[in-house]
């Protein structure tokens, strides 16, 4: 605490890449998402939907995810036995791009603002 304010420590980009690298599991489907703090929610959701063991890793943002994707692609030999999938929020990019702005087979850009937008069901509004 400095001057009555709590300071939040932030990781450098390199330390974030190393953290993600250490968390990847060869025996699981690794899904890298943007949102920190929602890993358990995503793991539960994806394991139920996909029916397989999943390791969800939060990158801290779209740019961080894209950077990690680029690093993994550059070290492809080291990750050849890993199943890695990136799920990126549509955010406001959906307004500016017609299609997926980065054409990589393991990158999924959501067509909605974020993954939570897929949880909303129109019939819920009719329950009032």
What is the C-alpha separation between 18 and 114, in angstroms, rounded? 26
* Residue % of the chain over a pLDDT of 70: 72
| 55 closest CA partner among 44, 68, 69 | 44
| 66 closest CA partner among 27, 16, 116 | 16
Question: 9 falls in which pLDDT band (50, 70, 90)?
Answer: very low
Please return the burial class of 6, using the count of CB atoms within 10 Å of its CB with bins 0-12, 13-18 and 19+. exposed
Q: What is the pLDDT of residues 34-90, one digit of tens each?
A: 989 989 989 999 999 999 999 999 999 988 998 899 888 888 898 889 999 999 988
**Domain edges within the chain:** 13-125
Full-model pTM: 0.74
Give 5's strand partners: 2
């Amino acid at each position: 605490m400095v001057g009555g304010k709590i300071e939040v420590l932030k990781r450098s980009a390199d330390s974030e890449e190393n953290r993600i690298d250490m968390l990847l599991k060869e025996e699981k489907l690794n899904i890298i998402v943007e949102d920190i703090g929602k890993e358990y929610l995503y793991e539960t959701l994806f394991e139920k939907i996909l029916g397989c063991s999943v390791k969800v890793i939060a990158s801290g943002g779209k740019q961080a995810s894209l950077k990690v994707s680029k690093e993994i692609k550059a070290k492809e030999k080291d990750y050849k036995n890993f199943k890695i999938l990136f799920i990126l929020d549509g955010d406001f990019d959906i307004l500016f791009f017609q299609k997926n702005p980065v054409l990589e087979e393991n990158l999924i850009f959501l067509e909605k603002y974020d993954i939570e937008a897929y949880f909303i069901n129109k019939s819920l509004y009719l329950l009032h």
